[in-house]
Structure 1
Amino acid sequence: MATESLALFPLHTVLLPGAALGLRVFEARYLDLVRDCGRNGRRFGVCLIIKGEEVGAPASAAAFGTEAVIEDFGQGDDGLLTLQVRGARRFHVERTRVRDNGLQVADVRWCPDDASEPVQPEHGLLPVLLDSIIEKLGSEHAKAARALHDDAAWVGWRLAELLPLHDSQRQELLQMDEARARLDRLLELVS
């Protein structure tokens, strides 16, 4: 399977498909990345930092991440560039290299898209739990089409996003290729 080149923005958080994430951008390498994305209509990848920090020397990042689509940008009260991104496709990093400016660029293989399948009876508690969380938090997902609440992939991603999980648990869920396996694991985590 062919790989594609993707600039990386390693963070101490996991971006999940369909989830929103706010970023403050101040390092030159990431300002260059955003400029390139704006000029060329490109996207970038977000990976969980395994070792290292978000600033300074390039960090060691997880081998699985999520493509980030810039939805909005602005300037914070502190004068820094702010971005609102949304998670899109999942990817697996095959190889990385570091540019002169410290920006990591990876050769990635895209993970398969989730098949559209209904939530199975053994996972019936999870959409109920999700509805309760969305009702309590009043999140943007409250406006989602009702049919999505029976889609195994959507329910799994939204629970992974909204439940108080550790980043290592979110990363584990991100690396799973099957929605049913993700729901099985979520059941274990909530019980």
Structure 2
Amino acid sequence: MPENTSWIPLFPLNTVLFPGGVLPLKVFETRYLDMLRECMKNQQPFGVVLIKSGAEVGAAAEPEEIGCLTHIVEWDMQDLGVLMLRVEGSQRFRILQQRVLADQRLEAQISLIADDLPGAPDQVHLLCASTLKLVIDDIQNKGRASHGAEYASPFSLPLQFDSASWVANRWCEILPIPLKARQKLLELTDGRERLAIVHQYLLQHHII
């Protein structure tokens, strides 16, 4: 796993971001506005990490050890001091060491976690993918009906139903499960194992 010896900005949040996932952000704290300006200026990614203890505002929170790198795909500042962002998860990472800056921002040196290896779709994959397609189509149709041309899809393109990891990641974002459970799923190194757990959940709750 390659290590990044430079310091990466961290954004501790009460959410878990998966590779390929889309996250809208509304940022107004000065420290994070400064951080994001630097990221945009230097075309630098930042890491989204689930808060282990603490809060999103105030003193620096303690993050979980594994998070997801992101890149900014859209931004807007219609109101002074309020930055609206749309970011997309890219690759998971493990925090090797971290530090707290004077303004209570977090930075970390990280080790990147290799992407899940692709494989031929099996029956579990195909069933989860076909059901996911129905769910995504329903979300998209309702969103377009409600918001028209202003509708912004919560999914990035292209949709990758042929990828077990992508299908598992999207289910992990959609399902109503606790944040700690999402974090444990993010930490799994095998995308097919993640999908197998999702499949069991879908069976138990009679979704498939």
Contact 1:114 1:178 in 2 (8 A): yes
User: Residue 64 of structure 2 aligns to a residue in which SS?
Assistant: strand
What one-letter code is carried by the residue in structure 2 that aligns with 1:71?
V
Q: CA deviation at 1:136?
A: 1.5
Query: What is the aligned partner in structure 2 of residue 108 from structure 1?
Result: 110
How far the C-alpha of 1:53 sits from its partner, in A, is 0.6
Identity of aligned residues (%): 35
Q: CA RMSD in A?
A: 1.9
Aligned residues: 189
Counterpart position of 1:23? 25
Question: Which moves more between the two structures, 136-145 or 50-59?
Answer: 136-145
Query: Structure 2 unaligned runs (5+)?
Result: 141-152
Say if 1:142 and 1:26 are closer, same or farther in 2 by CA, change over 3 A: closer
Match of 1:51 among 42, 53, 58: 53
Residues 134 and 142 in structure 1, CA contact (< 8 A), matched pair in contact too: no
Question: Counterparts of 1:135-150 in structure 2 under 5 Å?
Answer: 135-138=137-140, 139=153, 141=155, 144=158, 148-150=160-162
**Equivalent of 1:81, from 73, 80, 83?**
83
- Is the 1:43–1:69 Cα contact (8 Å) retained in structure 2? yes
* Structure-2 change in CA distance of 1:8 and 1:81 (3 Å): same
**Residue of structure 1 equivalent to 2:149:** none
| Structure 1, unaligned runs of 5 or more | none
Q: Does 1:68 align with 2:80?
A: no
TM-score by length of 1: 0.90
Number of the residue aligned with 2:146? none
Structure-2 residue corresponding to 1:153: 165
Q: CA deviation at 1:113?
A: 1.2
In 2, are the aligned partners of 1:69 and 1:85 still within 8 Å (CA)? Answer: yes
1:2 aligns to 2:3 (yes or no) = yes
Question: 2:16: which partner in 1?
Answer: 14
Q: What secondary structure is seen at the aligned counterpart in 1 of 2:173?
A: helix
Whether the 8 Å CA contact 1:14–1:167 is kept in 2: the answer is yes
**1:174 and 2:186 correspond:** yes
Poorly superposed stretches of 4+, deviation over 4 Å: 76-79, 139-143
1:118 is matched with 120
TM-score when normalising by structure 2: 0.83
C-alpha distance in structure 2 between counterparts of 1:143 and 1:35, whole Å? 26
